[in-house]
Amino acid sequence: MKTNEYSAGWDEQVLPFQLDAANIRGRVARLDTLLDNVLKQHDYPTQVSALVAEAVMLTALIGQTIKLRWKLSLQIRGDGPIRIIATDYYGPSEDGTPAKIRAYASYDSDRLNASNVSGFENIGKGMFAILMDQGEHMKPYQGITPLSQGSLSKCAETYFAQSEQLPTRFQVIVGESSAPGEKKSWRAGGVMLQHMPKASPLIAKDLPSSPDGLLSADDLLSGDESADDWNRVNILLDTVEEMELIGPNISPPQLLHRLFHEEVPRVFETQTVRFGCSCGEDKVRNTMSIYSQKDISHMISENGMVTADCQFCGSHYELDPKSLGFEGI
């Protein structure tokens, strides 16, 4: 995959847009360096890396709407070989600055190697959660949906139907690419569509149509006059090709025009996203403050220090036990 002016100019950018003729808003994004920075911290198997990459893309698309200095997190927890996938999106510190994303996964390599399923199925049964931290003195928000929809993107769609009553669609492609003579790197491309809310919340007129009892976009729009607009735009999105999403030859504005030119697309200011971790020695020390003197005594290594590693970025910390309030036992 060769690079050119489009890949250089549009990677790590989230472009918000609105389809005026269909009353639908959305975002389109392409990630490259950010994924490599997330994944190079760990030696994940390919199928774990692919799921982390998908979670990061969903986080970038969803997080673009939060306010300055807010934090949005995805937490995926299951009983399968892939136990946890967690992401954090830190809203820009001020207008015009990048948002930051970090992510990690926890998995059982023995169970994963012995598994006879692939991808999403290795997470097993569990939950898909979105958490939002609005800052000090504000109660965090949390919404949860079960892991039963076949992909992380489908889980995110169900979350918005269930928790937000907003018909939502994600189209996400992730994969590894390489140029001649270069090692492979991860890329992802994604589109998010969302039906604009009415003055009053949408209320499903019937019981959920899915076997698992979860609401979908179709349930929310059943009998609504705008269902035709939603269906038409989704049919158009179904025509997108993999290389249009992750390749270097079509910019996001060109892609929007190709897919939705009859829907009168209108684009807004892009949001840059970068890899970034919030860990630091002070935060590690604050985390350690919950442990008892006895607990700390068991954490002291042979060199007399308490060590800690950040699961997200791999940073290694060595702290003097006395700085943690340890007085000896």
How high is the pLDDT of residue 226? Answer: 82
Q: Are residues 42 and 184 in the same domain?
A: yes
pLDDT at 193 over 60: yes
* Residue 1 within any structural domain of the chain: no
How high is the pLDDT of residue 34? Answer: 95
**115: pLDDT confidence band, cut at 50, 70 and 90?**
very high
Q: Are residues 45 and 155 in the same domain?
A: yes
* Residue 4 within any structural domain of the chain: no
How high is the pLDDT of residue 25? Answer: 97
Q: Are residues 174 and 294 in the same domain?
A: no
Q: Kindly report the average pLDDT of the chain as a whole number.
A: 88
Q: Are residues 230 and 292 in the same domain?
A: no
pLDDT at 328 over 90: no
Query: Which bin fits 150, alpha (ψ -120 to 50), beta or left (φ > 0)?
Result: left
* Residue 3 within any structural domain of the chain: no
Q: Are residues 246 and 313 in the same domain?
A: no
**4: pLDDT confidence band, cut at 50, 70 and 90?**
very low
Provide mean pLDDT across the span 192-206.
67
* Residue 218 within any structural domain of the chain: yes
Q: Are residues 222 and 286 in the same domain?
A: no
pLDDT at 120 over 60: yes
Q: Are residues 149 and 294 in the same domain?
A: no
* Residue 45 within any structural domain of the chain: yes
Most confidently predicted of 95-109, 123-137, 211-225: 95-109
Provide mean pLDDT across the span 310-326.
84
By the 10 Å C-beta count (0-12 exposed, 13-18 middle, 19+ buried), 305 is classed as middle
Please report, for the domain that includes residue 297, its CATH number.
Answer: 3.90.1280.10
Query: 314 in helix, strand or coil?
Result: coil
Please give the structure tokens belonging to residue 231.
């269906």
Percent share of the chain, pLDDT over 70 = 92
Residues 6+ positions from 61 with CB-CB distance below 8 Å:
14, 27, 29, 170, 190, 192
* Residue 110 within any structural domain of the chain: yes
Q: Are residues 79 and 193 in the same domain?
A: yes
- Name the least confident of 22-31, 73-82, 222-231, 265-274: 222-231
Percent share of the chain, pLDDT over 90 = 59
pLDDT at 196 over 90: no
**87: pLDDT confidence band, cut at 50, 70 and 90?**
very high
How high is the pLDDT of residue 206? Answer: 54
Domain boundary among 257, 275, 293: 275
How high is the pLDDT of residue 204? Answer: 46
Helices (H), 193-312: 217-221, 227-237, 242-246, 252-260, 281-288, 293-299
Provide the 10 A C-beta neighbour count for residue 219.
Answer: 20
More confident residue, 245 or 181: 245
Q: Are residues 193 and 314 in the same domain?
A: no
Q: Give the total number of structural domains in the chain.
A: 2
Q: Are residues 226 and 303 in the same domain?
A: no
> Could you give the angle at the alpha carbon of 293 between the alpha carbons of 291 and 295, nearest 5°?
55
pLDDT at 306 over 60: yes
- Name the least confident of 175-179, 240-244, 255-259: 175-179
Provide the 10 A C-beta neighbour count for residue 190.
Answer: 24
Whole-number Å distance between alpha carbons of 235 and 223: 19
Range(s) of the domain holding residue 91: 10-275
How high is the pLDDT of residue 200? Answer: 44
* Residue 309 within any structural domain of the chain: yes
Domain boundary among 275, 290, 316: 275
Query: pTM (2 decimals)?
Result: 0.88
Q: Are residues 298 and 268 in the same domain?
A: no
**12: pLDDT confidence band, cut at 50, 70 and 90?**
very high
Whole-number Å distance between alpha carbons of 154 and 77: 15
Please report, for the domain that includes residue 26, its CATH number.
Answer: 3.55.30.10
**211: pLDDT confidence band, cut at 50, 70 and 90?**
low
Q: Are residues 307 and 212 in the same domain?
A: no
Provide mean pLDDT across the span 21-38.
95
* Residue 124 within any structural domain of the chain: yes
Check residue 191 and report its DSSP letter. E
Provide mean pLDDT across the span 58-85.
95
